[in-house]
């Protein structure tokens, strides 16, 4: 896999104008862009169309978590937008994930498009064992992540979002094909900002990440395209 095809740039901005400006600066070096709550809530689905017009691919990061019927219907709508990948929350459970995977597959076939990859969020990196206990989960983070990742795979999902700390274990347990999307990546020698468990682009890939998600180190750089190229080079190394 080309290192360029492993980088997802997080477009954490609040307007279509800012997002499109970044995509225009980056599109020659970057294939994937992540659209999250902030941008989607500000612009709606039209932002997906705008980004797709630049021949870029999209990871829609809305972490759906609701009853199976509601999530699978939202997921089918997302499939119709033509995103490359989107996610649901693993805590929504096996039935929710299974119905979503099945309905998205059926819709993609009906439309004659490639099925979007369906990814599960396991434990948010902002949670520690104490905050897990407070919501009634007494397992260790490691066990909980692995349990939800296994459940996602059994339900027919394509992969999980996981920190590089967990990536190694998931790769070992769930095999080569299972996708692992790793945020919290910082180029060697740059600030971690609010990320708690950071990895470098090279170490994240070495630990088993299929894709890395990088936001501010690229979007806030003086020259975002040069920052992206440097990260792609680090991944290759």
Q: Where does this chain bind ligand C5P (CB under 6 A)?
A: 10, 12, 36, 124-125, 161, 183-184, 195, 213-216
How far apart, in whole angstroms, are the C-alpha atoms of residue 117 and residue 122? 16
What is the closest distance, in whole angstroms, from the C-beta atom of residue 26 to ligand C5P in the complex?
Answer: 14
Q: How far is the CB of 107 from ligand C5P (least distance, A)?
A: 25
Taking the complex as a whole, the smallest distance from the CB of residue 185 to ligand C5P amounts, in Å, to: 7
Residue with Cβ nearer ligand C5P (103 or 144): 144
Of 205, 154, 148, the closest CA to residue 180 belongs to: 205
Q: Which helix (H) or strand (E) holds 75?
A: helix 68-81
Query: Rounded to the nearest whole angstrom, what is the least distance from the CB of residue 106 to ligand C5P in the complex?
Result: 28
Single out the catalytic residue among 4, 34, 52, 63: 63
As a whole number of angstroms, the distance between CA 193 and CA 156 comes to 35
Give the burial string for 51-71 (b: 16+ CB within 10 Å, else e).
Answer: bbeeebbbbbbbbbbeebeeb
Length of the chain: 237
Q: Round to whole Å and give the CA distance between 186 and 121.
A: 20
Q: Would you give the DSSP letter of residue 216? A: H
When the beta carbons of 103 and 158 are compared against ligand C5P, the nearer one is 158
Q: How far apart are CA 149 and CA 233, in angstroms?
A: 29
Is 34 assigned a catalytic role? no
C-beta of 116 vs 184, nearer to ligand C5P: 184
CA distances from 180 to 188, 204, 208, 223 (A): 21, 10, 7, 28
Distances (CA, A) of 132 to 39, 41, 89, 122: 28, 28, 15, 12
Q: Residue 97 or 160: which CB sits closer to ligand C5P?
A: 160
- Could you give the CA distance from residue 123 to residue 144 in angstroms, rounded to a whole number? 7
Residue nearest to ligand C5P (CB): 215
> Cβ closer to ligand C5P: 155 or 180?
180
The distance of closest approach from Cβ of residue 72 to ligand C5P in the complex, given in angstroms and rounded to an integer, is: 22
Active site residues: 63
């Amino acid at each position: 896999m080309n290192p360029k095809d492993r980088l997802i740039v997080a477009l954490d901005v609040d307007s279509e104008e800012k997002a499109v400006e970044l995509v225009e600066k980056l599109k020659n070096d970057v294939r994937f862009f992540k659209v999250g709550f902030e941008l989607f809530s500000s612009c709606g689905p039209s932002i997906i169309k705008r980004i797709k017009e630049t021949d870029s691919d999209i990871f829609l990061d809305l972490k759906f978590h609701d009853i199976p019927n509601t999530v699978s219907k939202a997921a089918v709508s997302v499939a119709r937008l033509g995103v490359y990948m989107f996610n649901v929350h693993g805590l929504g459970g096996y039935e929710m994930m299974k119905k979503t995977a099945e309905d998205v597959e059926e819709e993609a076939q009906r439309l004659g498009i490639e099925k979007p990859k369906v990814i599960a969020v396991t434990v948010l990196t902002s949670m520690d064992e104490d905050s897990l206990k407070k919501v009634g989960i007494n397992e260790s983070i490691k066990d909980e992540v692995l349990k939800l990742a296994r459940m996602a795979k059994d339900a027919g999902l394509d992969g999980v979002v996981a920190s590089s700390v967990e990536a190694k274990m998931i790769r070992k347990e769930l095999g080569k094909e299972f996708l692992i999307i790793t945020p919290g990546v910082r180029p060697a020698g740059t600030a971690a900002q609010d990320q708690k468990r950071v990895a470098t682009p090279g170490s994240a890939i070495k630990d088993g990440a299929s894709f890395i998600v990088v936001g501010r180190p690229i979007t806030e750089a003086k020259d975002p395209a040069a920052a992206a190229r440097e990260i792609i080079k680090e991944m290759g190394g």
